[in-house]
């Protein structure tokens, strides 16, 4: 497990896990119109855009947990 921060709250994530799955497990509200865990990231709606280290990324496609042991994420 890897320690991450979402909106300043420490969470645990598995290596290689999608950011959107960590956000959903944390119970945080984030729109995600085209994402379903069984389908994977379709990346067409852009409703899941979040800020990661100053860059806007799709949470459904981001797997930011390696190689960095810690990262700060803030859904916007």
**Which residues sit at the interface with ligand FES, rule CB under 6 A?**
32-35, 41, 43-48, 58, 60
Range list of β-strands (E), 1-76: 2-6, 9-13, 49-52, 55-58, 72-75
| Least distance in angstroms from the C-beta of 52 to ligand FES | 13
CB of 4 to ligand FES, least distance (A): 18
For ligand FES, the closer of residues 3 and 36 by Cβ is 36
Residue number, 4 or 60, with CB nearest to ligand FES: 60
The 10 Å Cβ neighbour count of residue 4 is 23
Q: Cα separation of 53 and 24, whole Å?
A: 20
């Amino acid at each position: 497990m890897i320690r991450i921060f979402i909106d300043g709250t420490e969470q645990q994530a598995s290596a290689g896990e999608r950011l959107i799955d960590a956000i959903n497990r944390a119970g945080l509200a984030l729109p995600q119109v085209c994402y379903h865990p069984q389908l994977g990231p379709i990346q067409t709606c852009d409703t899941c855009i979040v800020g990661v280290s100053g860059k806007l990324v799709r949470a459904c496609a981001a797997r930011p947990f390696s190689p960095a042991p810690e990262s700060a994420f803030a859904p916007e």
